[in-house]
Amino acid sequence: MTRYALGRLPGALATLVLASIVIFSLLRLVPGDPAAALAGPDATEETLAAIRHELGLDRPFLLQYVSWLGGVFTLDLGRSYIIGGEIGALVRAGLLNTAVLALSAMLIAIVLAFTAALLAVVVDRPWINAILTGANTAGLAIPTYVTGLVLVVVLAVLVPILPAGGTPPAGLFAQPDVTAQYVLMPALCLALPLSAAIARFLTEALRTELSQPYVTTARAVGISRRRIIVIQALPNAVPAALTVMGLQFGALLGGAVLVEAIFAWPGLGQLIEQAISGRDYPVVQVMMLVSVGVFIVVQLVTDVVHAAVDPRIRLGAEA
Domain ranges of the chain: 87-318
Measured distance CA(100)–CA(269) in Å, rounded: 13
Cβ proximity of 268 and 253 under 8 Å: yes
Q: What is the mean pLDDT of each run of 10 residues along the chain (319 residues)?
A: 69 84 78 67 75 75 83 81 81 85 90 90 84 87 87 89 86 84 91 89 88 86 86 83 76 76 84 79 83 80 71 53
Give pLDDT, residue 31: 65
CA nearest neighbour of 177 among 185, 186, 168: 168
Cβ proximity of 105 and 187 under 8 Å: yes
Cβ proximity of 68 and 286 under 8 Å: no
Angle in degrees, CA 250, 252, 253, rounded to 5: 95
Measured distance CA(102)–CA(115) in Å, rounded: 20
Measured distance CA(223)–CA(30) in Å, rounded: 63
Give pLDDT, residue 30: 67
Give pLDDT, residue 1: 58
Give pLDDT, residue 290: 83
Measured distance CA(140)–CA(168) in Å, rounded: 30
pLDDT digits (tens, 9 = 90+) for 27-51: 777 666 667 766 666 777 777 777 7
Measured distance CA(92)–CA(278) in Å, rounded: 20
Domain 87-318, CATH homologous superfamily name and number: MetI-like (1.10.3720.10)
User: pTM to 2 decimals?
Assistant: 0.79
Residues 6+ apart with CB under 8 A from 186: 101, 105, 148, 165, 259, 260, 262, 263, 265
Amino acid in position 172: L
